[in-house]
């Protein structure tokens, strides 16, 4: 059986009292209970006319994340696919909305029903809900769209199970259960992929919020946290001192913090080490392939642009403009393939032709493989800023700015000036305002002609739905600066 929820059913049969989910208020749901909840909601959805093969809009997050998660799993069990509410509407047969949510024009709206959680009369005499035969689409994910338009990629049940095989989890003693907090969003590609792995191994998912994280880690003996640098920074800001938990040192039972989505600044990494967990793993992956590379942060932080070592089933190559494979250490456009990878973008033939070629996926990243097999990524294809013949990688500028411990985040980008020439700009999120002359001196000493012409100091960097920096919005801010000068 290929269905995404098969492992829940298997654990429910063999270990019904094993904890599967812990809600924000600390309520524990076992695998046996979760399996029954999925069946109840599945019957409700079938009664609403949803059928296998339908695509249903569903946001897997608050106001009740546990409720939304059960609805996602119920859709999966009956063979219906789901996608975020903001995804391309033409694919959706209906959307699921909380009571009070504004209805979406032109699409059928079905209420998320709390009563579906309550046992129905005669439920004990009903057979378990079976999934349709064959491989179905599980979820349609929006890609990041950091510098271009987001694309929609479909991942099937079988692909997700294959991808989950390579999701890294910390080594634990045989009698210990993996207990995980996933802070990257369960509705996104990486969040769903890690959830698939967790359900496969019979782990427990802990739902919490930044203010309660330290308490949740201690109370529920959490073993791993999966996050992104921007989310980790938010966690560090809100991590309180808790009775019985110092909040100033590694938290009990926590074995690893996994950072994915973007570069983890060294100053932030040091905060995570001292306040959460000393062991940090860096993760690189894509919505189209899943997790590609993992590396110990202490090791890869010593290698410029390193993100980790590709897993055994992933093939990664750096190629030149003709498609010839480059030798170790030489940077070029990356291409990769892995079991379970997607094959196309839904409804976008042009993007499919650009990124899926000859059995390879081209993510648009520039990088190389070192002689000992470490994957390094220096930036995006086309992201190099060419300012009057001076070419600079945004990552180089960002690394210099992030060398200051009082700068949390940095993004470099090019902005066309009045004459159409790209000028080097940067945006930073400092702990407190930094004198302009200090930033100019730092960049001048380290970057010379590659120094940013303007450095914006912001409370937060704009981000898209996947948590990645929205470069287009930053470029628009710079463009307005030049327009206002006219």
Residue 235 lies in a domain: yes
Report pLDDT digits (tens) over 438-456. Answer: 999 999 999 988 899 999 9
Q: Into how many domains does the chain fold?
A: 3
> Which of 280, 295, 312 represents a domain boundary (last residue)?
280
Q: What is the pLDDT of residue 341?
A: 94
Which structural domain, as residue segments, surrounds residue 418?
385-485
Residue 99 lies in a domain: yes
Q: Is the pLDDT of residue 147 over 50?
A: no
| Helix (H), strand (E) at residue 137 | strand 137-142
Q: Is the pLDDT of residue 368 over 90?
A: yes
Residue 60 or residue 249, greater confidence: 60
pTM of the complete model: 0.83
* 232 in the same domain as 190: yes
Q: What is the pLDDT of residue 87?
A: 63
CATH number at residue 37: 3.40.50.12780
Mean pLDDT of the chain: 88
pLDDT bucket at 122, cuts 50 / 70 / 90: confident
Residue 1 lies in a domain: no
* 341 in the same domain as 258: no
pLDDT bucket at 242, cuts 50 / 70 / 90: low
* 466 in the same domain as 476: yes
pLDDT bucket at 1, cuts 50 / 70 / 90: low
* 100 in the same domain as 61: yes
Report pLDDT digits (tens) over 249-294. Answer: 688 889 999 998 877 888 889 889 988 899 999 999 999 999 999 9
Give the C-alpha distances (Å, rounded to integers) separating 271 from 250, 263, 381, 432. Answer: 10, 15, 32, 17
DSSP string, 353-421: HHHEETTEE--SEEEEE-TT--EEEEEETT--EEETTEEE-HHHHHHHHTTSTTEEEEEEEEEE-TTS-
Q: What is the pLDDT of residue 90?
A: 58
Q: What is the pLDDT of residue 124?
A: 76
> Which of 380, 414, 439 represents a domain boundary (last residue)?
380
* 296 in the same domain as 261: no
CATH number at residue 428: 3.30.300.30
For residue 409, give both structure tokens: 């985040």
CATH number at residue 313: 2.30.38.10
* 65 in the same domain as 194: yes
* 310 in the same domain as 272: no
Residue 115 or residue 358, greater confidence: 358
> Which of 236, 255, 280 represents a domain boundary (last residue)?
280
- Across 414-442, average pLDDT: 89
Residue 133 lies in a domain: yes
pLDDT bucket at 139, cuts 50 / 70 / 90: very high
* 208 in the same domain as 98: yes
* 481 in the same domain as 349: no
């Amino acid at each position: 059986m290929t269905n995404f929820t098969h492992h829940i059913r298997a654990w429910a049969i063999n270990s019904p009292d094993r904890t599967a989910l812990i809600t924000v208020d600390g309520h524990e749901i076992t695998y046996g209970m979760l399996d029954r909840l999925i069946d109840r909601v599945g019957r409700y959805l079938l009664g609403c006319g949803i059928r296998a093969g339908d695509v249903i809009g569903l946001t897997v997050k608050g106001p009740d994340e546990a409720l939304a998660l059960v609805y996602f799993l119920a859709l999966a069990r009956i063979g219906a696919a789901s996608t975020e509410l903001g995804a391309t509407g033409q694919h959706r047969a209906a959307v699921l909305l909380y009571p009070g949510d504004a209805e979406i024009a032109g699409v059928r709206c079905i209420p998320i029903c709390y009563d579906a959680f309550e046992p129905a009369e005669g439920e004990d005499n009903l057979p378990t809900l079976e999934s349709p035969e064959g491989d179905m689409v599980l979820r349609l994910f929006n890609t990041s769209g950091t510098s271009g338009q987001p694309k929609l990629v479909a991942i099937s049940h079988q692909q997700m199970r294959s991808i989950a095989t390579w999701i890294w989890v910390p080594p634990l003693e045989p009698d210990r259960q993996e207990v995980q907090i996933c802070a990257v969003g369960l509705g996104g590609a990486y969040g769903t992929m890690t959830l698939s792995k967790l359900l496969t191994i019979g782990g427990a998912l802990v739902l919490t919020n930044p203010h309660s994280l330290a308490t949740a880690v201690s109370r529920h003996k959490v073993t791993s946290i999966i996050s992104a640098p921007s989310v980790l920074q938010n966690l560090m800001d809100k991590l309180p001192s808790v009775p019985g938990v110092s909040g100033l040192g590694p938290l009990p039972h926590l074995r690893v913090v996994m950072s994915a989505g973007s570069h983890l600044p060294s100053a932030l990494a040091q905060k995570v080490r001292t306040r959460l967990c000393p062991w940090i793993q860096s993760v690189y992956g894509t919505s189209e392939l899943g997790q590609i590379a993992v590396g110990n942060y202490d090791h890869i932080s010593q290698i410029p642009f390193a993100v980790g070592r590709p897993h055994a089933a992933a093939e990664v190559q750096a190629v030149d403009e003709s498609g010839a494979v480059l030798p170790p250490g030489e940077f070029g456009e990356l291409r990769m393939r892995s079991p379970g990878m997607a094959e196309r973008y839904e409804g976008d033939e042009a993007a499919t032709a650009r990124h899926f070629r000859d059995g390879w996926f081209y993510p648009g990243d520039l990088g190389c493989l070192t002689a000992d097999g470490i994957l390094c990524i220096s930036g995006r294809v086309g992201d190099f800023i060419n300012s009057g013949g001076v070419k600079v990688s945004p990552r180089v500028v960002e690394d210099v700015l992030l060398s200051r411990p009082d700068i949390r985040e940095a993004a470099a980008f090019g902005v066309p000036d009045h004459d159409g020439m790209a000028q080097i700009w940067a945006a930073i999120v400092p702990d407190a305002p930094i004198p302009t002359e200090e930033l100019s001196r730092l960049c001048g000493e380290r970057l010379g002609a590659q120094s940013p012409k303007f450095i914006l100091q912001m409370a937060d960097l704009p981000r898209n739905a996947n948590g990645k920096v929205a470069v287009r919005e930053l470029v628009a801010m710079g463009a307005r600066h030049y327009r206002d000068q006219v």
